[in-house]
Amino acid sequence: MKTTLRDIARESGLDISTVSRCLSGAYGINKDTRAMVVETARKLNYIPNSLARGLATGLSRTIALLVNDIRNPYYAELARGVEDTAFEAGFDLVLGNSDLKWERQMHHVHAMASKQIDGLILNPAGVMGAKATDELARYRLPVVVLAATERKSPFSSVRVDNRGGGRLVGQHLRELGHTKVVVLGSNLKQRNLTERLKGFEESFGSGYRVVLGENSHAGAKAMMEELLAAPLDFSAVFAVNDSMAIGALEAMKFAGILVPQDVSLIGFDDIPIAALLDPPLTTIAQPKYETGVVATEILLAKIRGSGKEYVPAVENRELDVHLVARKSTATR
Amino acid sequence: MKTTLRDIARESGLDISTVSRCLSGAYGINKDTRAMVVETARKLNYIPNSLARGLATGLSRTIALLVNDIRNPYYAELARGVEDTAFEAGFDLVLGNSDLKWERQMHHVHAMASKQIDGLILNPAGVMGAKATDELARYRLPVVVLAATERKSPFSSVRVDNRGGGRLVGQHLRELGHTKVVVLGSNLKQRNLTERLKGFEESFGSGYRVVLGENSHAGAKAMMEELLAAPLDFSAVFAVNDSMAIGALEAMKFAGILVPQDVSLIGFDDIPIAALLDPPLTTIAQPKYETGVVATEILLAKIRGSGKEYVPAVENRELDVHLVARKSTATR
DNA sequence: CTGAAAGCGCTAACAG
DNA sequence: CTGTTAGCGCTTTCAG
């Protein structure tokens, strides 16, 4: 049913290998025969079988993206950057969600490796320590990690200057005259988040306290509710990500606390809804789409490099963030 | 470098075909030899080559999802439903974004077909008329369309009861005593949206007027501003989707109109932010994740069916929507 | 229960 | 410029 090279060969009276060359645009082919072959291919509705090609060449023209959860707008945006870049380069994208479960992640990696993907962009389900790095390296895949990597990691990485972002936050709050602030953090030890804290401390200095809880909208809400049970002893809240900021906002609204009049609120991420909140949320914006683009570019370079038996140096890129001052922060 | 069946065969002194059977869990294999083979496979760090397997079997254990834009939370949620279901069944997911451009969509379809995907879930980039259907059918892929299909379409479909949702809106507003309502609609003729209007009319009857404008947050805001330039002659607004509802809400807030005291507002979609608005938006919720699950289930059934040379009947599913009454609507 | 052999569809030297 | 010849790694009859 499916037409193959053989069919075209028969139809055009040529050898199958000649046809192959015509279609894959190689050198040394007569203009006319090529035109003819291309034409009959079209006529027969030929669709090349990439599996066969992949088996023969060892390349699949497919890359994979493995993230925590595509429903997280951050990853959706990033994924789009990846897909667009891959698409332009003629690569397909296979997507996996790990829920930050190492096991589920590795399950995916295994399946993908077995499908001979040419490379992987990974939002790791845990800290990329030596063990994790080894486990992944065994697959001998070009990978770009969306997080910090080990000093002598074989993987490239792209990440955002979380620490710098944290500094921006501390600075902003200081400038507005705040001296007592609560930081809503996550009890999970995610590098991204701890870096934000570190940066914050660097620029804000003392006068803040950290409250740890579940990294989610609901988690932050609960944390905030508990804080509000006691008399207000802070004038600003820094939530380590926007989704927690939203939870905090809800809790404050419910408690009748005005933002930013009573307390200022600042998040981190600049997810799409941040601008639509009431009040619009001041936050730190990350180049999400661009992160995807850059990661893909690095990966593709790596792939093309390894084709020539030459594996280019590990590349580590850190992208800048910036403060988006909206209405949820004000002078004390 | 990569270990193959041949390596395992050599190592274990068996034939390659025997090894294959052991690993792919076929009948008629000695318990012990299997155990032994499995063990040496693990020891050699064997990763099966799915391309080779796919070439031999004609199946790739991969399905594709092609949507407008994964950044749209609706599709992200749906995609997650697809991925989870596929994952459980041992299928991988390749993702494509079409931006609703037919050409980009077909480009993806082509690449995916060439990769021998086993099936496709498609949010079509246009109305699935006869021509579109034909063009797609040529690929002889099992496909599930996320929209209405032609009467005699070869494709299955999963969609949401937009009309019923519209009815729910009309009914809700009637029950609250509203008699003058403005419907904020889109000037684009999208089936989903027109169905909502139709349903609304069925249950609300007369007493409403439709205002058409750009289908977006900004568009609705502009429409609303214009409406508010004249004296208020309506007590409720139905925006055909949440993003337009948000625009309307902004405009009303800015004009000092209280929602829902002065005018009630109802949207459609229940996007994540709807619950977080101030006031939380009353809207019609669609089963996004479930849509993905159902579409995948239908697709997988189709795939398994066609394996047995039996292609099951086209299946058309319509999922129910429901009203989520929050704080943006009140009695007149 | 296991081995031998053919083949999935394509590419890639190597000859001519 | 084109044909021949081997595979790529795996599954799958068909024998034994």
pLDDT digits over A290-303, tens only? 999 999 999 999 99
pLDDT at B200: 97
Q: Is the pLDDT of residue A156 over 60?
A: yes
Tell me whether B101 touches chain A (CB under 8 Å).
no
Tell me whether A3 touches chain B (CB under 8 Å).
no
pLDDT at A35: 81
Say what the pTM is. Answer: 0.90
Which residues bind near strand C, taking a CB cut-off of 7 Å?
A 2, 4-6, 16-17, 20-21, 23-24, 46, 48-49, 52-53, 55-57; B 13-18, 21, 27-31, 33-34, 52, 55-56, 58
Could you say which of A69, A116, A139 has the minimum Cβ distance to residue B50? A116
The C1' atom of D15 and the CA atom of B3 lie apart, in whole Å, by 29
Could you say which of A87, A97, A140 has the minimum Cβ distance to residue B80? A97
The C1' atom of C6 and the CA atom of A17 lie apart, in whole Å, by 21
pLDDT at A7: 86
Nucleotides of C under 7 A from a protein CB: 1-13
Percentage of residues in chain B with pLDDT exceeding 90?
A: 72
Q: Give the residue from A143, A66, A124, A105 showing the smallest Cα distance to A300.
A: A143
Measured CA to C1', what is the nucleotide nearest B9? C3
Q: Is the pLDDT of residue B252 over 50?
A: yes
Tell me whether B111 touches chain A (CB under 8 Å).
yes
- Is the preceding omega at residue A279 within 30 degrees of 0, hence cis? yes
Cβ-defined contact of B71 to A80 (cutoff 8 Å)? yes
pLDDT at B263: 97
Could you say which of B79, B94, B116 has the minimum Cβ distance to residue A49? B116
Tell me whether B71 touches chain A (CB under 8 Å).
yes
The C1' atom of D5 and the CA atom of A17 lie apart, in whole Å, by 11
Measured CA to C1', what is the nucleotide nearest B37? C2
Q: Give the residue from A74, A111, A45, A308 showing the smallest Cα distance to B63.
A: A111
Residue of higher predicted confidence among A15 and A223: A223
CA closest to C9 C1', residue: A52
| Chain B nearest-CA residue for A44 | B138
> Residues of A with CB below 8 A from B111's CB?
50, 90, 92
Shortest CA gap A48–chain B (Å): 6
pLDDT digits (tens, 9 = 90+) for B187-236: 777 788 899 999 999 999 999 999 999 988 889 999 999 999 999 999 99
The C1' atom of D10 and the CA atom of A115 lie apart, in whole Å, by 13
Q: Give the residue from B317, B217, B324 showing the smallest Cα distance to B268.
A: B324
Q: Is the pLDDT of residue A248 over 70?
A: yes
Q: Tokens 């609706």 appear where?
A: B74
Q: Is the CB of A15 under 7 A from strand D?
A: yes
pLDDT digits (tens, 9 = 90+) for A174-201: 999 999 999 999 877 777 888 999 999 9
Q: How far apart are CA A225 and CA A231, in angstroms?
A: 12
The pair phi, psi for residue A296, each rounded to 5°, is: -65, -40
Cβ-defined contact of A113 to B47 (cutoff 8 Å)? yes
Nucleotides of D under 7 A from a protein CB: 1-13
Helices B102-114 and A73-88 meet at what angle, rounded to 10?
A: 80
Burial of A180 (0-12, 13-18, 19+ CB in 10 A): middle
Q: How far apart are CA B234 and CA A52, in angstroms?
A: 64
Shortest CA gap A207–chain B (Å): 30
Q: What share of chain A is helix, strand, coil (3-state, %, to 5)?
A: 45, 15, 35
Q: Give the residue from B147, B176, B172 showing the smallest Cα distance to B74.
A: B147
Q: Is the pLDDT of residue B284 over 50?
A: yes
The pair phi, psi for residue A47, each rounded to 5°, is: -125, 115
The C1' atom of C4 and the CA atom of B19 lie apart, in whole Å, by 14
> Residues of B with CB below 8 A from A111's CB?
50, 90, 92
pLDDT digits (tens, 9 = 90+) for A94-147: 999 999 999 999 999 999 999 999 999 999 998 899 999 999 999 999 999 999
